[in-house]
């Protein structure tokens, strides 16, 4: 007779689930940031500032905490913040969103994009993405059960090709994702391009997801062309914005979405079950801080100074500057570097720059679903002037 004490216990067992994202591993941003830390390199890879936000904003959030705003806020967001967002959007773009039914505060822009996709995309639906594209788009579409349809932007100017977009639309097209100012290239959609997009989509069931997190970083006297400016596009669009990008507090992970009431109703059905609500004292603090529009109205001048400083320094290197009309990213072509470096793939070059030169960048191929052989890498210039100057001094040694 076998006793319980004589049975050899089985080792602990962990079930092996079928991965929802089997092709994905650690993002290139995490890889390059870790490599930068390992080699004490200047990190111009991942897109975050190395300086703090306005002390007045921090004080406003602290005051909100001390005033007792520490429990669950309403699911769509604190009413005062949604009202402030509605007033800002109307003042800038001329479109009035109802703060009660057409604005939702989110846990950052990435959550907003995933929630928008989950709210409208069903298995078998197609989602058009203009490449290169922010790296969350493809896995977000996959998690929603959709099929991504990549459409290339011009490989040098990164401008949209309306004819290519027209060819990509099928009866299965559910959504189109656009991003302006563009990450990674910094390209900015023009008013004429948005008019062409509106005409293209007229009469279709295609929903636009417009990623506008760099809306306040448009340079040389140009204006940001939000889809909210065009009634025909606003009527079919989720518009995604970011407080983290605008106010230099990316670690707060707080943003918002505007959309027509019917689209927002579907958005909130998902939002309430994957996040429910967003950090209460930050929302109250932001509502107070937004009473003064100067911080976001002055952001383009603030970052244009950094862009111009960085571009002037890069002009003294072998890197070829690509246009940067918006965002806080500068892309460069490296084909004129010494032959041994120019022959490298962009990932290999970024790793070499990090190890040997002490400056981290991001390869452009990371923003394509099938990779790219373009000899282009991306730097982030949302850094202190002294950080940029140190990076430039090192890059001039290449």
pLDDT 10s digits, 377-388: 999 999 999 999
Torsion of CA 281, 287, 293, 296, to 10 degrees: 40
What percent of the chain lies above the pLDDT cut of 90?
Answer: 91
Confidence of residue 4 (pLDDT cuts 50, 70, 90): low
Can you tell me the distance from the alpha carbon of 275 to that of 256, in angstroms, rounded to the nearest whole number? Answer: 13
Length of the chain, in residues: 398
Enter the pTM of the model: 0.95
The alpha carbons of the chain give a radius of gyration, in whole angstroms, of 23
Cβ within 8 Å of residue 39, ≥6 positions away: 354, 355, 358
* One-letter-per-residue 3-state SS of the chain: CCCHHHCCCCCCCCCCCCCCCCCCCCCHHHHHHHHHHHCCCEECCCCCCCCCCCHHHHHHHHHHHHCCCCCCCCCCCCHHHHHHHHHHHHHHHCCCCCCCCCEEEECCHHHHHHHHHHHHCCCCCEEEEEECCCCCHHHHHHHCCCEEEEEECCCCCCCCCHHHHHHHCCCCEEEEEEECCCCCCCCCCCHHHHHHHHHHHCCCCCEEEEECCCCCCECCCCCCCCHHHCHHHHCCEEEEEEHHHHCCCHHHCCEEEECCHHHHHHHHHHHHHHCCCCCHHHHHHHHHHCCCCHHHHCHHHHHHHHHHHHHHHHCCCCCEECCCCECCEEEEECCCCCHHHHCCCHHHHHHHHHHHHCEECEEHHHHCCCCCCCCEEEEECCCCHHHHHHHHHHHCCC
Tell me which of 11-25, 177-191, 237-251, 301-315 is least confident.
11-25
The per-residue pLDDT for range 225-279, each reduced to its tens digit, is 999 999 999 999 999 999 999 999 999 999 999 999 999 999 999 999 999 999 9
CA 297 vs. chain centroid, Å, equals 20
pLDDT value of residue 156? 83
Q: How many CB atoms lie within 10 A of CB 26?
A: 8
Band of residue 5 on the pLDDT scale cut at 50, 70, 90: low
Cβ atoms of 330 and 187 within 8 Å: the answer is: no
Per-residue confidence band for 8, with pLDDT thresholds at 50, 70 and 90: confident
What confidence tier does 24 reach under pLDDT thresholds 50, 70, 90? confident
The candidate with the shortest Cα–Cα distance to 310, out of 356, 361, 354, is 361
| Domains of the chain from N-terminus onward | 28-47+297-395 (3.90.1150.10), 55-292 (3.40.640.10)
Question: From edge to edge, which strands make up the β-sheet containing 362-363?
Answer: 320-321, 329-333, 376-380, 362-363
Question: 71-89 pLDDT, tens per residue?
Answer: 999 999 999 999 999 999 9
**Residue 340 confidence (pLDDT) above 60:** yes
103, two tokens: 């604005």
What is the separation of C-alpha 290 from the centre of its chain, rounded to a whole number of angstroms? 22
pLDDT tens digits, 115-149? 999 999 999 999 999 999 999 999 999 999 999 99
Q: For residue 93, how far is the Cα from the chain centroid? A: 20
Conformation bin of residue 365: beta by default, left when phi > 0, alpha when psi is -120 to 50? alpha
**pLDDT for the residue 37:** 93
The CA-atom distances, in angstroms, between 382 and each of 49, 116, 234, 293 are 5, 28, 30, 21
- Which pLDDT score is estimated for 324? 97
pLDDT tier at 166 (50, 70, 90 boundaries)?
A: very high
Q: Among residues 268, 270, 249, 272, which one has the least CA distance to residue 259?
A: 268
**pLDDT band, residue 2 (cuts 50/70/90):** low
Instruction: Write out the two tokens for 260.
Output: 């027509």
Instruction: Supply 128's token pair.
Output: 């058009």
């Amino acid at each position: 007779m076998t006793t319980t004490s004589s049975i050899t216990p089985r080792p602990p067992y962990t079930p092996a689930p079928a991965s929802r994202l089997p092709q994905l591993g650690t993002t290139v941003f995490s890889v390059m940031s870790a490599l930068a830390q390992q080699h004490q390199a200047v990190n111009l890879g991942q897109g975050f500032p190395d300086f703090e936000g306005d002390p007045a904003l921090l004080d406003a959030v602290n005051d909100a905490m001390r005033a007792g705003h520490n429990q669950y806020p309403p699911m769509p967001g604190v009413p005062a913040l949604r009202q402030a967002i509605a007033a800002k959007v109307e003042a800038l773009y001329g479109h009035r969103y109802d703060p009660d039914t057409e604005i939702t505060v989110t846990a950052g822009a990435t959550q907003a994009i995933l929630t928008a996709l989950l709210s409208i995309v069903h298995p078998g639906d197609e989602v058009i993405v203009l490449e290169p594209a922010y790296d969350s788009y493809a896995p977000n579409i996959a998690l929603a059960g959709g099929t991504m349809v990549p459409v290339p932007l011009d490989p040098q100017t990164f401008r949209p090709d309306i004819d290519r977009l027209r060819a990509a639309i099928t009866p299965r097209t559910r959504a189109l994702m656009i991003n302006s100012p563009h990450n990674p290239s910094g390209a900015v959609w023009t008013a004429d391009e948005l008019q062409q997009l509106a005409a293209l989509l007229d009469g279709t069931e295609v929903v636009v997801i417009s990623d506008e997190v760099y809306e306040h970083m448009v340079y040389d006297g140009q204006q940001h062309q939000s889809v909210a400016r065009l009634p025909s596009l606003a009527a079919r669009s989720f518009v995604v914005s970011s407080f983290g990008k605008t106010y230099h507090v990316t670690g707060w992970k707080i943003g918002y979405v505007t959309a027509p009431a019917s689209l927002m109703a579907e958005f909130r059905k998902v939002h309430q079950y994957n996040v429910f609500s967003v950090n209460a004292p930050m929302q109250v603090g932001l509502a107070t801080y937004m009473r003064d529009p100067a911080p976001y109205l002055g952001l383009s001048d603030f970052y244009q100074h950094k862009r111009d400083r960085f571009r002037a320094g890069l002009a003294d290197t072998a890197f070829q500057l690509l246009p940067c009309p918006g965002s806080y990213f500068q892309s460069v072509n490296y084909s004129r570097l010494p032959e041994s470096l120019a022959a490298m793939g962009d990932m290999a070059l970024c790793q070499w720059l990090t190890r040997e030169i002490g400056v981290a960048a991001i390869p452009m191929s990371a923003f394509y679903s099938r990779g790219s052989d373009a000899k282009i890498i991306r730097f982030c210039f949302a850094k202190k002037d002294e950080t940029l100057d140190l990076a430039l001094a090192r890059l001039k040694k290449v």
